[in-house]
Amino acid sequence: MKFTKSIILAGTALTGLFATTTYAQTTGSDAVEATVVVTGRRGVKSIDGALTKESISKSRSTITQDYIKTQTPGQTILQTINLVPGVNFTNNDPYGNSGGNLRIRGFDGSRVSLTFDGVALNDTGNYAIYSNQQLDPELIESAAVNLGTTDVDSPTASATGGTVSYKTVKPTKNFGVDATASLGSDNYTRAFLMVNTGEIAGFTSFLTYSQTQYDKFKGPGKMNKKQVNGRIYRTLNDAGDFVSVSANWNVNRNNNYRNLSIAQFQANPNLDYDATCVQTVTGTGGAQIQSGCTNFYGQRINPSDTGSLRGQFKYHILPNLVFTFDPSFQYVLAEGGTQFENVKEKDSRLDLSGTDTAGPGVDLNGDGDTLDTITLWRPATTNTHRYGVSTSLIWDLNDNNRIRGAYTLDYGRHRQTGAFGYLKADGTPVDIWGGRDNIANAVKAADGNVLQNRNRFSIAKLEQFALEYRGQFFEDKLTVNLGVRSPVLTRELNNYCYQPSGGDFPRCTTEPTTGTPTASGNVFLVGGGTTQYIPPIKFKKEYKKTLPNLGVSYAFTETQSVYASYAEQISAPRTDNLYKYSRAAAAGSPLVVSVAEPETTQSIDLGYRYQSSTILLSTAFWSTKFKNRLVTTYDPETQLSIERNVGDVDQYGWDGQVGWQATKTLSLYGSASYNHAKLSNDLQLTATTFLPTKGKMLVETPEWTYSGRVQWNILPEVELGLQGKYVGERFTTDVNDEKVKSYTTFDFDASYTLPFAKSTVLQVNVTNLTDEVYLGSLGSGLNAQTVLDVDPNTAGNQSKAGVTTFHYRGAPRTAMITLRTKF
């Protein structure tokens, strides 16, 4: 076998007995992992898109559009990968617009790198994944999941648990129009329109628009989503070189679901927010106190505007030297959290008088006095401008050896504000963004400054260099992959507000300080009485590490191969936790010794693949050693919720999946995963108190998961699909004194091809076919029940009281019908 002009097969050659596209993250990785054509018997490429032939020397599963199109229209891609072994995604509603929780091998979504077209999508501040903001599924060519490891050029400083990467479809060379219309339960409506321009002056392009809206499946409120996408693509030559520019704009306007304690769920799983805001006013004379309608759905919203521009370029400088270049820009404007506050008109933040009781105050409600307490809208707004580039230089030394150098830059400007605004008489906000851009709606202090709940600015700059070697030996049976990446993450943090040294809630004000600063530099604000405050701060933290990424595979027959991989990963501390760290350090907390240290993992996979003309099978044993595992805990000595090290965590497990093309019209797929993930140490609460967490299972992590799918073309025009997912019981606390039950859900899909237009298909989808009532996305805490003897060195029983955890109910049975047509 020979390499193509500029392409090398990643992994074992004999498992790639066909030509196919690749499923890696960046254009550089795509170029490296593109397959070659070899002689020999051709095998099945995929099992109806639910399981695809793999050849790399690490555990990866890939789904394609053939499977994606059978799922719920408009569904987030993270729900669609839920059959992959090791993956557990819990959707917060049946259509995907309310978000959800991703876990891979027990790692939460903030420890998984999510990319599309090589562009990093994890939040620059806290690495969170927002599943409801993903690309329309009609536009996703394929999605690949790396289980427990990253690629050598993965643009991440947070992924210790693996990667999810998906790719946008290419425009077609012929003019065409694709239209989709869907109706479903909960007044669900969705429309999708795609126009391909065809080839014009060598360029192909498409433009799409989609709009989705529906009611919440429980409680009052609606989900609204609009998305616009476009792509321009041009092939440069016969060697596969190309240039592409893509754009995405996504708008979500959602009402939140109320999460429930286990007791509330058992009593009434449909419990949700109130449909109306009944504001009560107490007090006599001019001193009135207005209630906050704390359970009103109209104040539980989650708006977001997100967009991106993505470029891709691949070019042969020489026949054996390839250059790739992927620039990008992303924009985010979003809110989250509790978003109202009762504010006194005499609050010193408003009148700057130095007292919360005797100052002149500011008349907020226009009733002629300043004696009242008014409920104000207090959004927690995040605005991010993010610039990125990923580039590679790939050099074929000869037919069997290749070297690649790669560089990544990810530069995010992260602005977090909380500009107060007013509420309408019905309790809904005048402007969802408060006083951020709407000056007429802004709540202003006496000096004209807008009252803020928080006011922070940070820069997250990731620079990464990577080097990779791939070689094939012994008649291409042995493939060796040696890589190393060196990420450097720099965080610049600015908190413009005063922070109480013993609390989490900032005081954003221009009022003067009083008294003499303490020895630690803390100050006193007159409006805060005797409370000590940490002044506005500015600081920088840098994290860097050299991370090897090694793999080897060996094909000992035409259909069988084995592989082994070793990878080290890093997850640097998040923005919010570094702000808390700085405050805890100033407050003299004993629990901050190593809180700012990054998490690191060492992961090993040993796998086997059998890939014949009708069967695709893979199985892997894996082990991950966790150092400096960070857990958010509450420090009672400083009254801060801070993130700190809990020491080492050992995880190991097994993943397996098999697909069988039983006949030309019938295919079967199944997967299973086992996860042993336990804490290695007791959790330190204070200098002398500990929680008994040693040997306990990680929260939210099922020990066993199973999934399966059957797809049958019962007639040439009729296709039926049935799939299911079992999730074992999961603990909600670190001491494992509370857990939720296991659950099993089934989904059904059926399509009928009609003899109209170029292609017309009528499709029916039913999710949660058996109407299972279960808890999906979980909250977690330290302990739910009181724990005695948390201080082993003190006589008597010093106890730690339990804390209630809250969770999301899984969506009930939901049905929808879709008509797709192409002209």
How far apart are alpha carbons 23 and 723 in whole angstroms? 24
User: Are 304 and 333 within 8 A, CB to CB?
Assistant: yes
Q: Is the pLDDT of residue 821 over 50?
A: yes
At 447, the pLDDT band (50, 70, 90 cuts) reads: very high
The sign of the torsion formed by the CA atoms of 47, 49, 53, 58 equals negative
**Rounded CA separation 40/35 (Å):** 14
Q: Tell me what pLDDT residue 72 has.
A: 94
Query: Looking at per-residue confidence, does 192 or 45 come out higher?
Result: 192
Angstrom distances, CA of residue 658 to CA of 52, 374, 616, 807:
10, 61, 6, 33
List, as one string, the DSSP characters of 756-802. Answer: SSSEEEEEEEEESTT----B-S---BS-SS-B----TTSSS---B--
Token pair of 331, please? 């924009």
**C-alpha distances out from residue 638 to 90, 498, 573, 819, Å:** 35, 16, 20, 59
pLDDT in tens, 649-673: 789 999 999 999 999 999 999 999 9
CA 31 to chain centre: 26
Q: Give the distance, in angstroms, between the CA of residue 693 and the centroid of all CA atoms in the same chain.
A: 27
- Stretch 367-392: mean pLDDT, rounded? 92
Phi, psi (deg, nearest 5) at residue 661: -85, 85
Q: Which two tokens stand for residue 534?
A: 């940490």
Q: Which whole number is the average pLDDT over 370-396?
A: 93
Task: Examine the pLDDT at 648 and tell me if it is beyond 90.
Answer: no
Confidence of residue 811 (pLDDT cuts 50, 70, 90): very high
Report which DSSP code applies to 299.
G
Query: Which residues make beta-bridge pairs with 325?
Result: 313, 391
DSSP H or E segment with residue 67: helix 65-68
pLDDT of residue 247: 98
- What percent of the chain has pLDDT above 70? 88
Phi and psi (nearest 5°) for 138?
-60, -20
Query: Mean of the pLDDT values across residues 322-328?
Result: 96
CA atoms in the 13 A half-sphere facing the CB of 208? 30
The helix/strand/coil state of 327 is strand
CB contact at 8 A, 129 and 109: yes
Query: 676-704 burial string, b = 16+ CB within 10 Å, else e?
Result: ebbbbebbbbbeebbbbbeebbbbbbbbe
pLDDT in tens, 731-769: 999 899 999 999 999 999 999 999 988 899 999 999 999
Q: Which two tokens stand for residue 818?
A: 């879709």
Q: According to the model, what pLDDT value does residue 280 have? A: 63
pTM (predicted TM-score): 0.91
Q: At 4, give phi and psi (nearest 5°).
A: -70, 180
Give the largest CA-CA distance in the chain: 93
pLDDT the model gives residue 626: 83
Over residues 73-90, mean pLDDT:
95
In this structure, what are the phi and psi dihedrals at residue 73, rounded to the nearest 5 degrees?
-60, 135
Average pLDDT taken over every residue of the chain = 86
Which backbone phi and psi does 170 adopt, to 5 degrees?
Answer: -90, 150
The DSSP call for residue 143 is E
Domains and CATH numbers, the chain: 13-168 (2.170.130.10)
Residues 694, 682 contacting (CB under 8 angstroms): yes
pLDDT at 605: 95
**How far apart (Å, rounded) are the C-alpha atoms in residues 256 and 568?**
38
Q: Is residue 777 scored above 60 in pLDDT?
A: yes
Better pLDDT: 365 or 90: 90
Beta strands in 599-687 (DSSP E): 599-611, 615-627, 630-635, 640-645, 649-661, 666-679, 683-684
Q: What is the DSSP string of 223-259?
A: EEEEEEEEEEEEE-STTS-EEEEEEEEEEEEEBPPPP
Reading phi first (left if > 0) and then psi (alpha if -120 to 50, else beta), residue 539 is in beta
Rounded to whole angstroms, how far apart are CA atoms 651 and 296? 42
d(CA 94, CA 187): 12
pLDDT digits 0-9 by tens, 147-161: 888 888 888 888 888
Q: Give residue-wise pLDDT tens across range 605-630.
A: 999 999 999 999 999 999 998 877 76
Average pLDDT over residues 548-564: 94
CB atoms within 10 A of CB 475: 10
Residue 316 scores a pLDDT above 90: yes
714, two tokens: 């019962």
Write the CB contacts of 440 (distance below 8 Å, at least 6 apart in sequence): none
Q: What share of the chain is helix, strand, coil (3-state, %, to 5)?
A: 5, 50, 45
When pLDDT is cut at 50, 70 and 90, the band that residue 36 belongs to is very low
CA distance 229 to 247: 6
> Does residue 581 sit in helix, strand or coil?
helix
Other C-beta atoms lying within 10 Å of the C-beta of residue 716: 8
Over range 687-701, report the average pLDDT: 86
CA gyration radius, the chain? 28
Residue type for position 485: R
Q: What is the pLDDT of residue 2?
A: 40
Q: DSSP assignment, residue 279?
A: -
Distance CA 670, CA 657 (A): 6
Closest to 612 (Cα-Cα) out of 19, 11, 40 = 40
